[in-house]
A = this chain, B = another copy of it.
Amino acid sequence: MVKQERAARTREVLVRAAAEVFVEEGFATASIGAISKRAGVSAGGLHFHFGSKTALAEAVVDRAAASVRVITVSRLAGGNALQVLVDSTHDLMALLAHDPVVSAGFGLCVATGTGDAEAVGPCGVRRQWQRWVEAMFRTAARNGELADGVSAQDAAAAVVAAIVGFEALGADEGAWLAEPSLARYWALMLPRIAADGSLGELRADGSDAMCVAGAARSGAPDQ
> In the bound complex, how far is the Cα of B51 from the Cα of A130, in angstroms?
42
Cβ contacts under 8 Å, A165 to chain B: 160-166, 168
Interface segment among A10-18, A75-83, A180-188, A212-220: the answer is: A180-188
> In the bound complex, how far is the Cα of B181 from the Cα of A188, in angstroms?
20
Contact of A192 among B26, B161, B169, B188 (CB under 8 A): B188
Cross-chain contact A184 with B157 (CB below 8 angstroms):
yes
Cross-chain contact A169 with B161 (CB below 8 angstroms):
yes
> In the bound complex, how far is the Cα of B181 from the Cα of A154, in angstroms?
8
Known contacts A160-B165, A187-B154; decide if A172 and B123 are in contact (CB<8 Å).
yes
Cβ contacts under 8 Å, A189 to chain B: 158, 192
Quote the shortest CB–CB distance from A219 to chain B (angstroms).
Answer: 28
Counting from the closest, the 5 A-B pairs by CB-CB distance are: A161-B165, A165-B165, A192-B192, A164-B165, A28-B28
